[in-house]
Amino acid sequence: MYEGVVQDLIDELGRLPGVGPKSAQRIAFHLLQADPADVRRLADVLIEVKDKVKFCSICFNVAEDDQCRICRDPRRDPAVLCVVEEYKDVVAIERTREFRGRYHVLGGAISPIDGIGPEQLHIRELLARLGGGDGAEVSEVILATDPNLEGEATATYLIRMLSPLGLRVTRLASGLPVGGDLEYADEVTLGRAFVGRQAAQ
């Protein structure tokens, strides 16, 4: 335990995701030793990001305007919509340079243990989007939820909700990672790899 404001800083840093008590202490002492101009610049950026950044009115991705750059881009294919849990998933998919459609960010996954049900996510907005207006041209919805219990529950729920709309609903393929060993693969991953097997080329 440290005195006053130093402990307050450690406590606040420790509330950040992925930052434990030791990391929070290390960051706090780094900031104490840093040049005041660098610390001020960091503080200014934190305040600016809270003031300027909001969520896209169409897909709920992070944006500085009413719509994000992906929704505004006329080169993106409006017929293919990729549904992801979080906006960081958009960044991961964009890094592959394989997807040229548009996105819908749910804002999480169904998790009854954490008190998160369908009504806490942007599922209602997704259905409204697909039911008319912007979504009238969508022909395929790709469900790109995480391959864990919550992601599977969310995908199953969405499949049930989307099937009456007559759209093509697909899931991301999953299976063995490149460079991995069969003996270390869990049963679900190995099972998915068999189901999603492809013709040898």
Q: What is the pLDDT of residues 21-50, one digit of tens each?
A: 999 999 999 999 999 999 999 999 999 999
**Residue 190 token pair:** 């190995």
Q: How far is CA 6 from CA 1, 17, 33, 69, in A?
A: 9, 20, 12, 39
Q: Indicate the pTM of the whole model.
A: 0.79
Residue segments in the chain with a per-residue pLDDT below the cut of 50: none
The pLDDT of residue 132: 63
Q: How far apart are CA 143 and CA 192, in angstroms?
A: 15
Q: Which of 122, 173, 123, 184 is nearest to 147 (CA)?
A: 173
